[in-house]
Structure 1
Amino acid sequence: MNTAKPIASMHENWAYQTYEASSQILVHEGTKRYGTHQYLMPSWQDVTITENFLFEKVMHNKRICKRLIEKILGITIQSIEFPEAEKSIVIRRDSKSVRLDVYVTDNTGRVYDIEMQCTNPLDDELIRRTRYYQGMIDMDLISKGHNYTELNSTYIIFICTFDLFGLGRPTYTFRNLCLEDTNLELNDGTTKLFLNSTAVIPYESPDIFPYSDLDDDVFYFLQYINGHAPQGTFVNEINEEVTKVKESKEMEKSYMTYAMEIERRERIARNIGIEEGMKEGIQKGIQKEQLRFIVSMIKKNLPLDVIAELAELSVADIEKIKCDYNL
């Protein structure tokens, strides 16, 4: 029987992010649930690889990105390319756009989307998001002239700092299978994978980890994003890249601009919410006053057509109110 030995974290408090909606947010001991708060970006000095901005910059090191994909999926890739510095997909002007954290293709045309996810939505929003990402990626490929039969194989990978499915597994891999015969795979070329970093927290090394199929470097990587010191050649290489990015004054300025833009969007969203709430409240107030007026006029036995004209409603509406209030 395996005996787990806990490891002390490098960071005692990771609860530096709060969000507009109720959500679950990473702290070292696990995942906490917060109510409604304003989103706060960590300072540049406190940024870790779990912040999307830093994760994206580190993954733009081709060697690191390629090796991480290989180790997570257990495959070999000859080379990768970044089609765009920041991949955004918009199919129609009225559709919801998608901005992908790390979007790469390999020498065979396979597409990989890697996302860092630190907040656990209270519903199945994250799962539904993978469906939307898949559809948008496919539509983007089709718009570039591909036929349906030429659609590239795609891998959507979410690196989560929480256990989305609550089963304690370090990885959850999904493909389309036949319900009547689970040995029969649809082979539509789509794979969705969720990593759970909390699965490795109680264990000191991969030698005592109960899931032997997890690559050792992936084990140490999941520990690393939980705040542990880097272990192993690969994770130390990642850590060196993190240090390199954080020492760059240009990256620091870019992050500050990024943080200001996030704050601006959050402020706009809050203001829109307040404005919409005020409009709704005013409208409800008007409706209540109008109803009081109509009931009062009915009680005074005014003709229904006169009340309808004054209230700017139909006679049928006034008759319904009279019936509802037994007047």
Structure 2
Amino acid sequence: MAQARRDMGELRPIDDLMFRVMARDEAFCGELLGVLLQDRGLTVVKSTPQSHVTNTRGRSAVLDALCELSDGRLVNVEVQRADDDDLQRRVRYYASLVTTDRTPPGARFADVPDVCVALVCEFDPLGEGCPLYHVDRVVREGGRALDNGLEELYVNALARDGGEVSALMRVFVEAEAYDEARFPETSRVKRRLRETEEGREDMGSVIEEIREEIRAECIAEGIETGRAEGKAEGIAEGKAEGKAEGKAEGTLETLVRLVRDGLVSVQDAATSAGVDADEIRRTLAAEG
């Protein structure tokens, strides 16, 4: 436990575990989005970390945070440390899931909600050295920009150009960095989680929440609690039948990240997920 506490003290907002806890704070989310959307006057009325959006006929997803703004916009914020997949297609897919999840049956297309996906990366996602990228829809023939209610933002958290976005990202990626003057809410929540016993306990409780989510999903799918091999088969069968709705997959992915960060042992992760430890090791190896 002492080692886990030391490790948690090294976490940063760009790390999944810390962001999951910070995203509970609407003031922090408002400050983050105010900078990224270049609108310091916006208001976050609700923030849901680890928001589950379900596709009953295909792949579901667990969003790092889904924020609702006072003007009705929905903003999905994702933190991404590894450049290990097609990020633009991921953004496209997540936006479609949020749109489908929040559009009621029979709604007019004019009433489909505006959705923004903001991907905060610990690398340069588009390779042009900018701290913030806006990807727009443009008419190829005339260059005119069109708006269909979807906004895509890609953040390079490592870029330093002296601007507001890069200054905030310094607080995100450097463990000891704070900026109370410009980013009081981000600094407040980060300092609490890193420097107080109460904050560390909050992050420790999230690890237990992840374990309980996986246990509950296993029970819901009727997975036996006997041999680990039997559990793994049950999980595979449940996925094949489409019963998990992406929730077990998302929580298992989060637990694997905690193993990678040294916060949970491989054996603890395997026990919590109800799988063989070798499956956790294979997942870690596949993710590099």
Counterpart of 1:188 (choices 130, 148, 157) is 148
**Equivalent of residue 207 in structure 2, options 252, 256, 262:** 256
Consecutive aligned runs of 4 or more in structure 1 exceeding 4 Å deviation: 258-261, 265-270
**Separation in 2 of the partners of 1:272 and 1:49?**
25
Give the corresponding residue for 2:53.
89
Match for residue 71 of structure 1 among 31, 35, 52: 35
How many residue pairs were aligned?
Answer: 218
| Matched AA of 1:105 | E
Q: Which amino acid aligns with 2:183?
A: V
TM-score (norm 1): 0.59
Per-residue deviation, residues 72-95 of structure 1 (Å, max 9, x unmatched): 111254532226454110031x42
Matched with 1:226 is: 173
1:112 corresponding residue in structure 2:
75
Distance 1:194 1:88 in 2: 22
Summarize deviations over 1:277-298 as a string: whole Å, max 9, x none: xxxxxxxxxxxxxxxxxxxxxx
The alpha carbon displacement at 1:268 in A equals 5.5
Who is 1:59 aligned against?
23
Matches of 2:142 and 2:277, distance apart in 1:
47
Q: 1:273 to 1:231 in 2, by over 3 A?
A: closer
Relative to structure 1, the CA distance from residue 72 to residue 51 in structure 2 (aligned partners, 3 Å threshold; closer, same or farther) is same
Structure 2 counterpart of 1:174, which letter? V
SS of alignment partner, residue 159 of structure 2: helix
Compare CA radii of gyration and give the structure with the larger one: 1
User: Could you say which residue in structure 1 is the equivalent of 2:138?
Assistant: 177
Quote the residue 2:113 is aligned against. 152
The Cα shift of 1:112 comes to 0.7
For 1:234, the aligned partner's letter is: R
Q: Is residue 89–residue 137 contact of structure 1 (8 Å, CA) maintained in 2?
A: yes
Moved more, 130-139 or 57-66: 57-66
* 2:96 partner amino acid: G
Match 1:131 to one of 79, 92, 101 = 92
Q: Is the 8 A contact 1:118 1:161 kept in 2?
A: yes
Q: Percent same amino acid at aligned positions?
A: 18
Unaligned runs of 5+ in 1: 1-39, 207-213, 275-327
Counterpart-to-counterpart distance in 2, 1:137 and 1:168 = 29
Contact 1:220-1:235 within 8 A present in 2 as well: no
Which consecutive residues of structure 2, in runs of 5 or more, have no partner in the other structure? 212-251, 256-268, 283-288
Q: How far off its partner does 1:219 sit?
A: 2.4
TM-score under structure 2 length normalisation: 0.66
Query: How much has 1:67 moved relative to structure 2?
Result: 2.0
Residues 154 and 126 of structure 1, relative CA distance in 2, 3 Å threshold? same
After superposition, the C-alpha distances for 1:13-61 in whole angstroms (9 at most, x for unaligned) are xxxxxxxxxxxxxxxxxxxxxxxxxxx9x93222221212211322322
